[in-house]
Amino acid sequence: MEENVTILAIESSCDETAAAVVRNGRDVLSNVISSQIALHTLYGGVVPEIASRKHIEKINQVIEQALQEAGVTLQDITAIAVTYGPGLVGALLVGVSEAKAISFATGIPLVGVHHISGHISANYIEHKELEPPFVCLVASGGHSHLVIVRDYGVYEIIGRTRDDAAGEAFDKVARAIGLGYPGGPKIDKLAREGNPDAIVFPRAKVAENKYDFSFSGLKSAVLNYLNGCQMKGEEVCQADVAASFQKAVVDVLVEHSLHAVKAFGYDKFAIAGGVASNSALRGAFETECQKRGIAFYHPSPILCTDNAAMIGAAGYYEYLKGVRHGYDLNAVPNLQL
Ligand code: KG4
Ligand code: ZN
């Protein structure tokens, strides 16, 4: 086996242009993220066309900075890992084209990475001892998956959302109470000043699969509550709405996840994705895992939201397995895990 595998990783699936250099899957030498959030905030959400254009403007300098901060040149790079799906097609194409161009010009092998596999692999970076198998909850703006990680890069999805993703629900409720985009961090902050038991919002169960999620009913319940208050001329306590909504999401995510961990006979559990940086969610998992004797893993917030270090971690294990992509690698917006 090669002594040092140094991966240049590229991520451009949504609204962050990111590049990182990761050694042997777990050592992050650099992790550069150029966020477009401020730009999209003007429109209340990600505008795909703007995202693609910004990625094109930024990608070269983000990669150069990542190499520079890591103290390496392309000659030190063993493989280039790039997110090729799922995500916004125009945004993904920028990263994929860039990776293919560098690979073609230098002969460095190309490894396409699944974005969600990246999110899950973020856990390997700060928990050097973590190895599969374990159960992982992936909760981001586009996905809410409960996954058994059987081996590196080998996943079995046991639960998924039937409608909105958890992050999407945060974003929509935030918009409804006038907090703007992105909603998750804003609700997280405001909820600290509110009473999580002030309003009882529904905790949906899906009859056919107890590990599936559904958040659209909760979102509608919040909207109905806000409309009801408006019609009755009652003042809305934004902090109470934020805290009560957040509690409902956290309760469902914790209950489904930890039920699955026990039912499938595991003793390790990890969280991943943008929503995994939510402070109430982390706190609840911390407490509940301890009670049940489950080891709990979570990435730092900067590794929960979109970044390229996680793509470098996932890409490393794909590289070890011998995965190599050709110059026909394409962006796959609905790539399955
Ligand atoms: O993983 P991510 O950066 O992008 C996707 O792959 O979707 O996740 C972004 C999502 C957004 O919906 C955002 O509102 C949510 O993660 N998010 C949070 C928090 N930080 C980000 N949700 C709840 N609490 C947070 N602190
Ligand atoms: Zn993501």
pLDDT in single tens digits along all 337 residues of the chain? 668 999 999 999 999 999 999 999 999 999 999 998 888 888 888 899 999 999 999 999 999 999 999 999 999 999 999 999 999 999 999 999 999 999 999 999 999 999 999 999 999 999 999 999 999 999 999 899 999 999 999 999 999 999 999 999 999 999 999 998 889 999 999 999 999 999 999 998 888 899 999 999 999 999 999 999 999 999 999 999 999 999 999 999 999 999 999 999 999 999 999 999 999 999 999 999 999 999 999 999 999 999 999 999 999 999 999 999 999 999 999 999 9
Q: In this structure, which residue's CA is closest to atom 10 in ligand 1?
A: 141
Residues with CB under 5 A from ligand 2 (ion): 140, 306
| Helix axes of 166-176 and 216-232: crossing angle, nearest 10 degrees | 10
Cα 134 to middle of ligand 1, angstroms: 22
Ligand 1, closest atom to CA 115?
6
Q: Are strands 79-85 and 110-114 parallel, antiparallel or unpaired?
A: parallel
Contact 120, 127 (CB under 8 A): no
Ligand 1, closest atom to CA 182?
14
Measured from the alpha carbon of residue 165, the closest ligand is: 1
Cα 147 to middle of ligand 2, angstroms: 15
Q: In this structure, which residue's CA is closest to atom 23 in ligand 1?
A: 184
DSSP per-residue string spanning 83-108 = EEESS-HHHHHHHHHHHHHHHHHH--
Q: How many CA atoms lie within 13 A of 223 on its CB side?
A: 13
Which domains are delineated in the chain? 6-122+304-320 (3.30.420.40), 133-298 (3.30.420.40)
Cα 73 to middle of ligand 1, angstroms: 32
Ligand 1 pocket (Cβ < 6 Å) reads 14, 140-142, 167, 170-171, 182-185, 188, 273-275, 277-278, 305-306
Sorted by sequence, the CB contacts under 8 Å of residue 18 that are 6+ apart come out as 10, 11, 12, 31, 32, 33, 34, 62, 306, 307, 308, 311
In a mutational test of the pocket of ligand 1, which residue from 137, 140, 171 has the highest number of ligand atoms less than 8 Å from its CB?
140
In single-letter form, the type of residue at position 212 comes to D
Q: In this structure, which residue's CA is closest to atom 21 in ligand 1?
A: 274
In a mutational test of the pocket of ligand 1, which residue from 31, 46, 170 has the highest number of ligand atoms less than 8 Å from its CB?
170
Name the DSSP letter for residue 294: -
Ligand 1, closest atom to CA 305?
3
